[in-house]
A and B are shown apart, each in its own frame.
Chain A
């Protein structure tokens, strides 16, 4: 019975210790540690990959390039053959011979007398160029002048138009005209009722005279 009690006590202690350990904070693993681990795992997986790269020498690369060039163009592998002195001398002779026609014909043609134009020709040319250049110069002055003139005329036209068409006064003048026409009509009706042909002061009707200047009414 005591033994069981002891066991229970030990278990309790163990659980307490486990609880304490679980309560400890976790340690974050560094990236370096993880990389090192991955490398070691890859080496275990493929041990050959861990061997270092061996760079080929420049000489080896040059030989390879030469062999590839030969495969591509076999004639390039042939050694250069230096031309002999005789061969070079013959070539020079031939080059001189080839160039000879040019020198001969150039000499012949350049030996021909120069055809110089006379002063009359030159003065005619001067005159023609002078006349050729004049219209262009006149046009160059005339065009901006024309543009400015047209623009000025347009501005004047717009200004006159705006002044000659007042909006509000027209409505007022139209009202005056209508009033005058109504009054004239009423007078005419009144005269006809009174048997009169002309409005007189005797009728006691106020005569509205048509103004001499209709512009007062905007007409």
Chain B
């Protein structure tokens, strides 16, 4: 069995008809189709898993495990959710399992946003998209901001603001009520903004 390794690294929005055809072929364990499926999603899944797990070795293992699980369970994919929702659900569950297995306990305390209400000021000029320059230093601070929030907040923020999943898709993927998804997203943004405000404030002083 040879999986093809296409040059298209990241297909963010696959055509629904094409995706449906790909799903049907993957269900029949067509190796070429599964290779294309991996091509389409490997970057997104790998990036998500890597940001969820911190350890590169764990991320490598888990990202591979995601696709192996998908390969094994493809015939049970019933299409009730979208393919990406299904895949991110597998990825999320495997990440949580890995975090539980490793000696790091899942932090619960940081779910509560303890930031100053005043810092949640979207009118601040520094938060205007055109004023934010994504240099290496800022990227580093964003990565640190992500790593310092709880897994529960991080996963919602990544799925919504990076992977463009809708609220209901996230609710399906994480098996959470819609309201919980929204509140966690709010808290996650608050955490990241607080973290970045300190950096941006220091820059401007």
Q: A172 an interface residue at 8 Å Cβ cutoff?
A: no
Given the complex of chains A and B, what is the CA–CA distance between A128 and B1 in angstroms? 11
Whether the Cβ atoms of B129 and A122 lie closer than 8 Å is: no
Determine the residue in chain A with the shortest Cβ distance to B188.
A105
Measured between beta carbons, the chain A residues less than 8 angstroms from B9 are: 114, 116
Q: B142 an interface residue at 8 Å Cβ cutoff?
A: yes
Whether the Cβ atoms of A124 and B142 lie closer than 8 Å is: no
Would A132 and B60 be within 8 Å (CB), given that A105-B189, A108-B132, A113-B139 are in contact?
Answer: no
Whether the Cβ atoms of A125 and B142 lie closer than 8 Å is: no
Q: B102 an interface residue at 8 Å Cβ cutoff?
A: no
Measured between beta carbons, the chain A residues less than 8 angstroms from B63 are: 117, 121
Q: B2 an interface residue at 8 Å Cβ cutoff?
A: yes
Task: Out of A110, A115, A129, name the residue touching B67 (CB < 8 Å).
Answer: A129
Given the complex of chains A and B, what is the CA–CA distance between A170 and B46 in angstroms? 78
Measured between beta carbons, the chain B residues less than 8 angstroms from A126 are: 2-3
- One digit per residue, 1 when the CB lies within 8 angstroms of any chain B CB and 0 when it does not, for chain A 124-148 equals 1110111011000000000000000
Measured between beta carbons, the chain A residues less than 8 angstroms from B71 are: 129, 132-133
Whether the Cβ atoms of B46 and A112 lie closer than 8 Å is: no
Would A112 and B129 be within 8 Å (CB), given that A125-B67, A128-B64 are in contact?
Answer: no
- One digit per residue, 1 when the CB lies within 8 angstroms of any chain A CB and 0 when it does not, for chain B 68-102 equals 10011000000000000000000000000000000
Q: A61 an interface residue at 8 Å Cβ cutoff?
A: no
Whether the Cβ atoms of B143 and A112 lie closer than 8 Å is: yes
Q: B157 an interface residue at 8 Å Cβ cutoff?
A: yes
B68 to chain A: closest CB distance in Å? 6
Determine the residue in chain A with the shortest Cβ distance to B5.
A122
- One digit per residue, 1 when the CB lies within 8 angstroms of any chain A CB and 0 when it does not, for chain B 115-129 equals 000000011000111
Q: A31 an interface residue at 8 Å Cβ cutoff?
A: no
Given the complex of chains A and B, what is the CA–CA distance between A102 and B34 in angstroms? 33
The number of chain B residues touching the other chain, given as a range, is 35 or more
Determine the residue in chain B with the shortest Cβ distance to A103.
B129
Q: A109 an interface residue at 8 Å Cβ cutoff?
A: yes
Whether the Cβ atoms of B157 and A105 lie closer than 8 Å is: yes
Measured between beta carbons, the chain B residues less than 8 angstroms from A103 are: 129
Most chain B CB within 10 A, of A114, A119, A126, is at A126
24 contacts between A and B (CB under 8 A): A101-B127, A108-B134, A108-B142, A108-B192, A108-B196, A109-B157, A110-B161, A111-B134, A112-B162, A114-B47, A116-B43, A117-B42, A117-B63, A119-B5, A121-B46, A121-B63, A122-B38, A124-B60, A125-B38, A125-B68, A129-B71, A132-B68, A132-B72, A133-B31
Report A's interface with B, CB cutoff 8 A.
97, 100-117, 119, 121-122, 124-126, 128-130, 132-133
Report B's interface with A, CB cutoff 8 A.
1-3, 5, 9-10, 29, 31, 34, 38, 42-43, 46-47, 50-51, 59-60, 63-64, 67-68, 71-72, 122-123, 127-129, 132, 134, 138-139, 142-143, 157-158, 161-162, 164, 189, 192, 196
